[in-house]
A and B are shown apart, each in its own frame.
Chain A
């Protein structure tokens, strides 16, 4: 890992002085007054959660203010140019040239109607590379540099014909096309798998080193920044609360918010969660030779899995591995499969409609996205109460009391009872979804990527809450995640799924520390590289 000490900090490449950005319509402050400097040749991480203003700050380095916002005060100097007052023509020359940008979601940021090679050629042409041949050569060179096929055929592809990782590599190639001095990357690894993220980060480090460019890497992923950035700026509500060397992050941070962010990270050296003792051998959940299909496509192959009563097992895999499909088979939402599912030692029918009321209540499901899992037109308290009435036959009054009890248990207040889902934050909605699942008094809880749509600090709280509830209620839990480190925090055992097959399973610590399968090893490397505390 490179640290600030390895590279002598050069003169400031970027100087931001008293930058104040507000919402044009309401005057609401986005960035109150930011001052900071970015030295040449460094990778600077801009860390913060949703709404911290980190993207706005990142974009301001290109002299760009998102529509609806307005710079009220301050100045930004990049390479000696006053970015806020620069004439349009000069700004255009800088953008994509000396100062370039890598967007958050390349799938949305690549024009669907343009071949990727054509767009690259256009950017080159816009910056004075007028010879067609030279452009072609340069494009092939760039593709090779970012690890893409440098053939003409590849350049002729449309964005939708590339994978997410390839799209992001194209974006990076374009950003480094014209020997930039500064590259602003706006959450460039969101939505990528762990192993792809790591490869992308590696590439960024290499390219910026070769080009001697500074990189401003905007990310909510603190642990990722800690592995490869030189400095980290922590942003809270538009203010830089800490500006420290990445290698000494833990020692140098002073602001309580930064400490809290650090503490929220799942640590791989934590003591393992409770293992089901030998005194409780009963089976809570069992999958026997489950092969799930969508029409003629088979997505899982003879998956066998046992979870003891009161045990938590993590099902880990990347997108498309079939982990969510398996979870839906357990819950009865997906009934197109061979094999058997048993809950609390009893085989259950495949389809939810064929399961008895008691069988339905036995297993409850917490969905990935709480925005879609709560009826938008029903008060959240009523959602919880309804679940209690339906599954346990409580009266209206009893169910309301139960809803209140559960709401308070998951950390909400009495006056949230009447709120509609859109009036709550994402974390609060996920708490409600959890309360609704608990209202059925289930024995088995299936959690499908329940933290992946939440900010880091909220994620940690939800995981802690889940651990407490599992322990209190002796829940049998199937925890679906793409994150091995998170699996290790919450689950005693981990099962790794690849292309619908179980490739490895065992004690979470053993899987993490002594992986057997090649695929698990890449996952572990990814997790190790991006986690603290090893």
Chain B
């Protein structure tokens, strides 16, 4: 069972690499001409083609590209001539900090609020959570980001910097206040959904027959919630948490652009604008692989906390 899931993940990673490759290199039409623009000379085109290995057969191209990828060689940026891995490497940390800090803040909040809302259906917390889901879940991250800038940086309150530009030669951690708005934006966009998921998982469990019976057997309410209900709500909640994490990975792209945040998301957008194919390939592969890892880990965690599934897996 576990082996099967890992195999499925490897298959998915293969599919991603195939999709990335096919979409950027293998389709009819001349990528190079697209990259260089219409004014390029035939000579320039031929040179770049050879440089990129585009004169080789497709399968050979894919194998050499995927082989390099496995060695951590992501190629050379077309615009800056820098190694893609060093270029991404310096920004990866910034994006990872953003996502990890957000996630670490959000998950405990979601569980506390979700459980509180589930314990009092129709109560204040319940209504606030459902309302937040209706309003915020429908908005793109960048809209939330702009609204927060207007609220906290340029408009009503001017307490936070509206952009997260880091002075040259300094690290993000020397300016932790620059993280506040991007993190807040991501938390505001993703928290309602995660909380709602925890809430509904908990409500299903709290309304179940086994909780009623445990209650009628004289077990304390606090134990009913933590030891009995949460144990069963954990598996679905973990899976949604993982989904939220992959959602954050996608959401950072727009957020980084909103705040001029120096992560791989904003790098990806400039690379797409400049048609810098190796950089786009590299970033997409890294983020996709990270998403797959998160997905598999969540799956395995869910397996571990569900005795029934665990037994079946053995």
List the interface of chain A (C-beta within 8 A of B).
Answer: 59, 62, 64, 67, 92-97, 100-101, 103-105, 108-114, 119, 122-123, 126-127, 158, 160-161, 171, 174
Name the prevailing secondary structure of the B interface residues: helix
The verdict on A114 contacting B218 (CB below 8 Å), with A109-B209, A161-B311 known, is no
Q: Which residues of A contact B223 (CB under 8 A)?
A: 122, 126
Name the contact of B231 in the complex, choosing from A96, A104, A113, A161 (C-beta under 8 A). A113
How many angstroms between the C-alpha atoms of A441 and B214 in the bound complex?
A: 53
How many angstroms between the C-alpha atoms of A43 and B248 in the bound complex?
A: 60
Q: Which residues of A contact B228 (CB under 8 A)?
A: 111, 113-114
CB atoms of B231 and A111 under 8 A apart: yes
Q: Which residues of A contact B311 (CB under 8 A)?
A: 158, 160-161
19 residue pairs A–B, Cβ–Cβ below 8 Å:
A64-B215, A95-B217, A96-B218, A101-B213, A101-B217, A103-B213, A105-B209, A108-B210, A109-B213, A110-B210, A111-B210, A111-B228, A113-B228, A113-B231, A113-B307, A122-B219, A123-B219, A158-B308, A174-B217
CB atoms of B219 and A96 under 8 A apart: yes
CB atoms of A62 and B307 under 8 A apart: no
CB atoms of A95 and B208 under 8 A apart: no
Write the nearest CB–CB distance from A271 to chain B, whole angstroms. Answer: 43
The verdict on A100 contacting B208 (CB below 8 Å), with A111-B231, A158-B311 known, is no
Q: Which residues of B contact A123 (CB under 8 A)?
A: 217-219
The verdict on A101 contacting B306 (CB below 8 Å), with A113-B232, A114-B231 known, is no
Q: Which residues of A contact B209 (CB under 8 A)?
A: 103-105, 108-109
How many angstroms between the C-alpha atoms of A105 and B232 in the bound complex?
A: 18
Write the nearest CB–CB distance from B229 to chain A, whole angstroms. Answer: 9
CB atoms of B218 and A103 under 8 A apart: no
Q: Select from chain A the residue with minimum beta-carbon distance to B217.
A: A96
CB atoms of A94 and B210 under 8 A apart: no
* B108 at interface by CB-CB < 8 Å: no
Write the nearest CB–CB distance from A334 to chain B, whole angstroms. Answer: 26
Write the nearest CB–CB distance from B236 to chain A, whole angstroms. Answer: 12
Write the nearest CB–CB distance from B120 to chain A, whole angstroms. Answer: 12
* B207 at interface by CB-CB < 8 Å: yes
How many angstroms between the C-alpha atoms of A62 and B311 in the bound complex?
A: 36
Name the contact of A127 in the complex, choosing from B207, B218, B306, B307 (C-beta under 8 A). B218
Name the contact of A109 in the complex, choosing from B207, B210, B227 (C-beta under 8 A). B210
How many angstroms between the C-alpha atoms of A95 and B217 in the bound complex?
A: 5
Q: Select from chain A the residue with minimum beta-carbon distance to B121.
A: A67
Closest 10 CB pairs of A and B: A96-B217, A96-B218, A108-B209, A113-B231, A101-B216, A95-B218, A109-B213, A111-B210, A109-B209, A158-B307
How many angstroms between the C-alpha atoms of A57 and B232 in the bound complex?
A: 30
Q: Select from chain B the residue with minimum beta-carbon distance to A107.
A: B209
Q: Which residues of B contact A100 (CB under 8 A)?
A: 216-217
Q: Which residues of A contact B215 (CB under 8 A)?
A: 64, 95
Q: Which residues of A contact B308 (CB under 8 A)?
A: 112, 158, 160
Write the nearest CB–CB distance from B304 to chain A, whole angstroms. Answer: 11
The verdict on A93 contacting B218 (CB below 8 Å), with A110-B210, A112-B308, A161-B311 known, is yes
Write the nearest CB–CB distance from B179 to chain A, whole angstroms. Answer: 37
The verdict on A112 contacting B232 (CB below 8 Å), with A92-B220, A160-B308 known, is yes
CB atoms of A103 and B212 under 8 A apart: yes
How many angstroms between the C-alpha atoms of A113 and B229 in the bound complex?
A: 9
CB atoms of A92 and B218 under 8 A apart: yes
Q: Which residues of B contact A95 (CB under 8 A)?
A: 215-218
Besides the known contacts A96-B218, A108-B210, 8 further A-B residue pairs in the complex with CB atoms under 8 A apart:
A67-B207, A105-B209, A108-B209, A122-B214, A122-B219, A123-B219, A126-B217, A127-B218
Q: Which residues of A contact B213 (CB under 8 A)?
A: 101, 103, 109-110, 171
Which B198-213 residues sit within 8 Å CB-CB of chain A?
207-210, 212-213
CB atoms of B307 and A112 under 8 A apart: yes
Write the nearest CB–CB distance from B271 to chain A, whole angstroms. Answer: 47
Which of B210, B219, B228 has the most chain A CB atoms closer than 10 A to its own CB?
Answer: B210
Write the nearest CB–CB distance from A63 to chain B, whole angstroms. Answer: 9
Q: Which residues of A contact B219 (CB under 8 A)?
A: 92, 96, 122-123, 126
Which of B209, B305, B308, B311 has the most chain A CB atoms closer than 10 A to its own CB?
Answer: B209
Q: Which residues of B contact A112 (CB under 8 A)?
A: 210, 232, 306-308
Write the nearest CB–CB distance from A6 to chain B, whole angstroms. Answer: 30
How many angstroms between the C-alpha atoms of A122 and B208 in the bound complex?
A: 18
Which of A64, A97, A104, A112 has the most chain B CB atoms closer than 10 A to its own CB?
Answer: A112
CB atoms of B214 and A111 under 8 A apart: yes
Q: Which residues of B contact A126 (CB under 8 A)?
A: 217-220, 223
How many angstroms between the C-alpha atoms of A67 and B208 in the bound complex?
A: 12
